[in-house]
Amino acid sequence: MSNPSITGEATEEYLATVVAGAEAVRKARRRTNRRSRVPLWATLVLLVSAVYFLLPLYATAVFGFSTGKHFTLQPLWDGLGDDGFHSSLQLSLFYSVVTTVLALAVVAPTAYLVELRFQRLRATIEFLTILPFVIPPIILAVGLSAMYGINSPVNLIASSWAPALLIGGYFVLTVPFVFRAVDNALRAVDVRTLSEASASLGAGPTRTFLRVIVPSISLGLVSGALLAFTTAMGEFTLAALLGYATFPVYLLNINGYEPRMGEALVLVSFLITWAGVIALAAVARRAPGTQIVRGGPM
């Protein structure tokens, strides 16, 4: 006669579990409801910042795409047809591409070697890569012009080495971004074991780096490149103070005498920058699970 009582107990226990479970679900639902309702202050902050950022854009658009009375795209066409626009954009593209390539070519192998062999230097390297954040570009500009400007015995600005000076400055400014991106990617893969595996198969250091490491950190390289490129494209202080007619410098100048044209171009360059940022975000979102895959539990 003991069996029924056991069953009864079991049923009671089961019921208790079910009730507890239902209670938990109800609580959880209430919690999510609360979370999904956005508080009033958050909405307010969002609205204020949206107005703060979007109003100037709207004003720019209204000013740039009108004659003062009605809508027109004429300032934009004027701008796109302007010689200064073409030359400055070409110049900026050239500087940015060279800077990006240079930064990747220097930083990626350095970060790899630090991770693989010179862990002791990590602190030093990290400190160096923070410096450009700490020291404002204006200091860099003043320093560079004193060192290599027209009053210096090493007058680079007036020589055919002028591009090298600006690219050097841009290199310093972009290295932190590239190093962070590459270093993060390197830390996510087991660099040491992969390198050893490659060596055991007969590959030398260069081949190992190019064939094994670079493909494994390609996403880090892409995001580092995008960051470097956009930084260099948008840089104003160095270029203006050292006297280079880059795109941002041109935009400021044109605003002085063809304001509507300038504003139209500003809007276009703003949209292009946004496209770049969105591309970057898309790349970054793809990152987990696609490339950064470990061989197995360590």
Partner 1 sequence: MSRLELINVSKRFGDQVAVSEFSLAVEDGELVSFLGPSGCGKTTTLRITAGFETPDGGAVIVDGVDVTDLPPNKRGMGMVFQGYALFPNMTAAENVEFGLAVRHRPVVERRARVAELLELFGLSHVGKSYPHQMSGGQQQRVALARAVAIQPGVLLLDEPLSAVDAKVREELRTEIRRMQVQLYITTILVTHDQSEALSISDRVVVMNRGAIEEVGTPTQIYAEPRSAFTAGFIGAMNEIPVRVVSGTQRLIERDGRRVSAPGAAGLLDGELGLLLVRPELLEPLGSTTEALNGDLLLTGRVEVQTFLGATTRLLLRELPAAAGDRSALPTTRLLAVDVASASASRWPAGSDLRVRIPVGASRVIADRAAAGAAQPSTSALTGSAASGA
Nearer to partner 1, 145 or 198 (CB): 198
Longest alpha-carbon distance in the chain: 109
Q: Does 283 bind partner 1 (CB under 8 A)?
A: no
Provide, rounded to whole angstroms, the least separation between the CB of residue 216 and partner 1: 5
- Are the CB atoms for 226 and 283 separated by under 8 Å? yes
Provide, rounded to whole angstroms, the least separation between the CB of residue 281 and partner 1: 23
Tell which one of 189, 238, 239, 249 touches partner 1 (CB under 8 A): 189
Alpha-helical regions (H) of the chain: 2-36, 40-64, 74-81, 83-116, 122-134, 137-148, 162-188, 191-200, 205-207, 214-216, 218-234, 237-242, 247-257, 259-290
Q: At what angle do helices 259-290 and 247-257 cross, to 10 degrees?
A: 150
- φ, ψ of residue 66 to 5 degrees: the values are -145, 160
Instruction: List the interface residues with partner 1, window 214-273 (CB under 8 A).
Output: 215-216, 218
CA distances from 123 to 81, 114, 115, 182 (A): 50, 10, 11, 16
The number of residues that bind partner 1 (CB under 8 A) is: 28
Paired tokens of 18: 């079910």
Radius of gyration of the chain (CA): 28
Q: Does 278 bind partner 1 (CB under 8 A)?
A: no
Provide, rounded to whole angstroms, the least separation between the CB of residue 280 and partner 1: 21
Paired tokens of 209: 């780096």
Paired tokens of 52: 């703060």
Q: In the chain, what is the straight-line distance between the N-terminal and C-terminal CA atoms, in Å?
A: 56
Paired tokens of 229: 């490129």
Q: Which span (68-76, 139-147, 166-174, 209-217) binds partner 1, by CB under 8 A?
A: 209-217
Q: Does 196 bind partner 1 (CB under 8 A)?
A: yes
Bridge partners for 288 per DSSP: 292
Q: Which span (86-94, 158-166, 170-178, 197-205) binds partner 1, by CB under 8 A?
A: 197-205
Q: Which span (7-15, 25-33, 119-127, 286-294) binds partner 1, by CB under 8 A?
A: 286-294
Tell which one of 31, 86, 207, 286 touches partner 1 (CB under 8 A): 207
Bridge partners for 209 per DSSP: none
Nearer to partner 1, 122 or 211 (CB): 211
Tell which one of 39, 68, 204, 256 touches partner 1 (CB under 8 A): 204
Nearer to partner 1, 4 or 289 (CB): 289
The 87-126 site mask, x for binding partner 1 (CB under 8 A), equals ----------------------------------------
Residues of this chain that interact with partner 1 (CB under 8 A) are 189-190, 193-194, 196-204, 207, 211-212, 215-216, 218, 289, 291-298
